[in-house]
Amino acid sequence: MLFNESNISGITVKNRIIRSATHDGLADENGAPNDKLISKYENLARNEIGCIITGYAAVSPNGVSPYPGMMKIYDDGVIGKYKELTDAVHKYNTPVILQIAHCGRQTSSKAIGMQKVAPSNVLHPFYPDRAKELTDTEINEIINDFVNAAVRAEKSGFDGVQLHGGHGYLLHDFMSPYGNRRKDKWGGSLENRCRVVELIIKGIKEKTSLPVWIKLSAEDNRKGGMNIESSVEICKRLEASGCDAIEVSCGTVEDGMNTMRSRLLPMDAVFRYREPCASFPKFLKNISLPAANLINPLIKQPAPLENFNVENAGLIKKSVSIPVIVVGGIHKADDMEKILDDGKADFISMCRPFICEPDLVKKLMNGQSESKCIMCNYCGLVIEKEPTRCLYGKVK
Ligand SMILES: Cc1cc2nc3c(=O)[nH]c(=O)nc-3n(C[C@H](O)[C@H](O)[C@H](O)COP(=O)(O)O)c2cc1C
Ligand code: SF4
């Protein structure tokens, strides 16, 4: 089943393995993919991947990430370069979906050169500068920005778009009672909290013929935030609004390493790439890194490490009739087959395993039983300063 040709929202895929959205840090100053990024995607396609979801692309200038090299899609000037990317991937009959996003509270005003915005002014521990609460007019502008981004995606030759509705970004914040404390028509009831996403889906459907997927965090570990019961209800609403596929993830950036779990925090990488630790003078690093390594095993990490969204995906799948994709700690071929056989999801997606081995699908088809990625999460830290790469064994 895993390696059989299939169809997802009208798109033919060679197999049921999808590359989950992964920020690559390889866009130019305009947010267009550079030649290295195009080659990276071409290489994934050449190696039999079923479908590629791009890294997140910002739909508005105030929705950009603080990580360098983020893709952007709020200007027509980038369409030519995105078209080169889709042409390169399509040579291998591989579909490619553009993930479109607004970072909301999960950026810094300094990085974007203007005050960041969010549904509500909730303090973010990693980005403590306060967000401006969006007005009605500004919310409608962001809805239009998403729709216009999808129009550009269609002109660029993408096979579909995926809304980034998870991981604590703006759309997640709108849907979650933790991030959304509004008392107007955009907050409060589930219906109100879903309004922004539903209007975006409907708007994209009106203006393009692209399938619209969403990735969401079924649970986010925030007090009063997303939980599986409300996520099931949200997914039903989104299906009714025209959503074509749902990718089930979890967590927010606030939530540390919950979205991409590891046994230990990647301390060496923290001291190399995350501020303020990265800028500590050498003598301070020499004292604090060994101390951090000593206490690291005592810091409780989210569990389990493997297949951690599968049960939630199964619950969502039971409640909707559109395809369900599951991501998170999946790295063994047998597990992938079992998830599909058990009817917990229709498609499998992975992120870190493809950073580690872009030719993983081909290897699995040739009998390799699992990914070589050890889920150390060093790649999750390198993106704070440099393009994404596997650093296993390379950081000391
Ligand atoms: C380096 C890196 C970049 C990521 N970029 C994105 C992104 O742009 N959009 C997104 O939805 N998730 C992003 N994620 C999260 C992954 O898509 C995925 O949900 C998470 O890593 C769990 O899957 P895995 O265990 O297969 O890695 C990123 C993760 C990593 C490690
Ligand atoms: S650095 Fe490499 S081995 Fe570690 S999680 Fe990332 S891809 Fe996997």
Compute, in angstroms, the gap from residue 185 CA to the centroid of ligand 1. 32
According to DSSP, residue 385 is labeled: T
- Report the nearest atom of ligand 2 relative to the CA of 377: 5
Compute, in angstroms, the gap from residue 170 CA to the centroid of ligand 2. 27
Residue whose CA is at the smallest distance from ligand 2 atom 6? 379
Q: Is the CB of 380 under 6 A from ligand 1?
A: yes
For the record, the structure tokens of 232 come out as 């099931």
- Euclidean distance between CA atoms 344 and 341, whole angstroms: 8
What are the backbone dihedrals phi and psi of residue 73, each rounded to the nearest 5 degrees, phi first?
A: -145, 45
- Euclidean distance between CA atoms 248 and 322, whole angstroms: 13
For the record, the structure tokens of 192 come out as 């109100």
What pLDDT score was predicted for residue 395? 58
- Euclidean distance between CA atoms 85 and 37, whole angstroms: 8
- Report the nearest atom of ligand 1 relative to the CA of 349: 26
Residue with tokens 């013929």: 209
- Report the nearest atom of ligand 2 relative to the CA of 374: 3
Domains and CATH numbers, the chain: 6-263+303-382 (3.20.20.70), 265-300 (no CATH)
- Euclidean distance between CA atoms 41 and 110, whole angstroms: 31
Assign 179 to helix, strand or coil.
coil
Please state the separation of Cα 325 from the chain's center in Å: 13
Instruction: Tell me how many degrees the CA angle 188-190-195 measures, rounded to the nearest 5.
Output: 90
Closest CA to 98 of 74, 122, 118, 117: 74
DSSP states along 8-53: ETTEEESSSEEE-----S-B-TTS-B-HHHHHHHHHHHHTT-SEEE
- Euclidean distance between CA atoms 64 and 66, whole angstroms: 7
* Tens of pLDDT, residue by residue, the chain (396 residues): 999 999 999 999 999 999 999 999 999 999 999 999 999 999 999 999 999 999 999 999 999 999 999 999 999 999 999 999 999 999 999 999 999 999 999 999 999 999 999 999 999 999 999 999 999 999 999 999 999 999 999 999 999 999 999 999 999 999 999 999 999 999 999 999 999 999 999 999 999 999 999 999 999 999 999 999 999 999 999 999 999 999 999 999 998 789 999 999 989 999 999 988 999 999 999 999 999 999 999 999 999 999 999 999 999 999 999 999 999 999 999 999 999 999 999 999 999 999 999 999 999 999 999 999 999 999 999 999 999 999 987 655
Assign 263 to helix, strand or coil.
coil
Assign 159 to helix, strand or coil.
coil
Pairing of β 17-19 and β 51-58: parallel
Pairing of β 212-217 and β 160-165: parallel
Assign 56 to helix, strand or coil.
strand
* pTM over the 0.85 mark: yes
Closest CA to 23 of 354, 391, 388: 388
Please state the separation of Cα 390 from the chain's center in Å: 18
**Can you count the helices (H) and strands (E) in the chain?**
14, 13
Which of 41, 82, 127, 169 is flagged as catalytic?
Answer: 169
Compute, in angstroms, the gap from residue 184 CA to the centroid of ligand 1. 33
Contact residues of ligand 2, CB 6 A cut-off: 352, 355-356, 373-379, 390-392
Please state the separation of Cα 362 from the chain's center in Å: 24
What pLDDT score was predicted for residue 392? 82
For the record, the structure tokens of 1 come out as 């089943």
Residue type for position 350: M
Compute, in angstroms, the gap from residue 56 CA to the centroid of ligand 1. 10
Pocket test for ligand 2, best of 263, 352, 371, 389 (most atoms within 8 A of CB): 352
378 is catalytic: no
For the record, the structure tokens of 120 come out as 């509500």
310-329: b (≥16 Cβ within 10 Å) or e:
bebbbbbbeebebbbbbbbb
